[in-house]
Amino acid sequence: MVTVGKGRAAKSAAATGNELGVFTDAGTVHKVSKPLTLRGFYKAEPLEKLQITVTSPTGWSKSVSTDKNGVADFTPLWPGTYFIEASRSWKEEGKHHDKDYKAFWRCATLVVDVAK
């Protein structure tokens, strides 16, 4: 999903078609020292205990975890572009293209600009 200017942005996790997603409110101007809210979803439902890593433009990183509503917050300390990654893995056996597998791993990323 990309929002440019006043373009319409998807308002739900289901809009992307991805199983795992991490989002922030589209169209919001994020600022230094103001809490930034993230929402984590799995199969379009809020996901509790989703680990999210936030990396700042300076290389500093922090991990946060979603609550029972799929929500996690962090406060950006520097202006610039933040890279956000959520991932989830679980054990489940099956076949894919005639090859056995024993576990799944999913990852979702988000890039957020933070102003002064």
- Give domain status of residue 30, yes or no: yes
Residue 97 has pLDDT above 80, yes or no: yes
- Give domain status of residue 1, yes or no: no
Give the number of other CB atoms < 10 A from CB of residue 36: 20
Maximal C-alpha separation, the chain: 52
Query: Measured between alpha carbons, how far apart are the two ends of the chain, in Å?
Result: 24
Per-residue pLDDT at 3: 56
- Give domain status of residue 100, yes or no: yes
Residue 8 has pLDDT above 80, yes or no: no
- Give domain status of residue 12, yes or no: no
**Residue-number span of the structural domain to which 58 is assigned:** 17-115
Domains identified in the chain, total number: 1
Residue 14 has pLDDT above 80, yes or no: no
CATH number of the domain where residue 44 is located: 2.60.40.1930
pLDDT in tens, 50-84: 999 999 999 999 999 999 999 999 999 999 999 99
- Give domain status of residue 95, yes or no: yes
